[in-house]
Amino acid sequence: MRHHRSGRKLGRDASHRKALYANLTGALIEHGRIRTTAAKAKEVRPVAEQMITLGRRGGVPARRQALKFLRSQDVVHKLFSDVGPRFAERPGGYSRIVRIGPRLGDAAEMVYLELVDYVPPDVSAPAPRPRRERSEQEPAEEQSEPPAEEEPQAEAEVEVEPEPG
């Protein structure tokens, strides 16, 4: 029986879980907010907060520990140059979980795992798309109609001779 065993298996073996945690933590540091299931968010949150604590600490040993886990120099650079200093005065609690409802396919509880200072991009009104001009290769609808520039010939100008008979 599984009495008081900590942690979720998430249907993965140990190495797959570790890679999942590293990838989700890297995405959170890079983007500031990720959308995932509640179970994954609850497992990733302590790992992400440990990485942010390393970013606050600074220094070469902390950078090496973060690089060992995250395996991406770009993410580690952002962690130590941007995210860590932003939370320098905060004594923990760098992330929050915001519930957004069930997923359509299997009704899994979906959440946003986001940093507490995350500001969503302004989505007030989408910018109007510029109108495309027709290229010469695309068939235009106006070309299927007879051209309006040509004047119809008047029938009154043509004289018809009556046939004798």
How do the domains of the chain map onto residue ranges?
Answer: 14-115
Q: What is the pLDDT of residues 67-104, one digit of tens each?
A: 999 999 999 999 999 999 999 999 999 999 999 999 99
Q: Quote the distance between the C-alpha of residue 149 and its chain's center.
A: 51
| pLDDT recorded at residue 133 | 82
DSSP helix/strand/coil, 154: coil
Sign of CA dihedral 76, 22, 114, 31: positive
Could you tell me the pTM of the whole model?
0.73
Give residues with Cβ within 8 angstroms of 43, minimum separation 6: 7, 8, 10, 21
Q: What is the pLDDT of residues 40-72, one digit of tens each?
A: 999 999 999 999 999 999 999 999 999 999 999
| pLDDT recorded at residue 113 | 98
Alpha-carbon distance 29 to 23, whole Å? 10
Length of the chain: 165
| pLDDT recorded at residue 82 | 96
Q: What is the pLDDT of residues 116-134, one digit of tens each?
A: 999 888 777 667 788 888 7
Please state the CATH superfamily assignment of the domain spanning residues 14-115 in this structure.
Answer: Ribosomal protein L17 (3.90.1030.10)
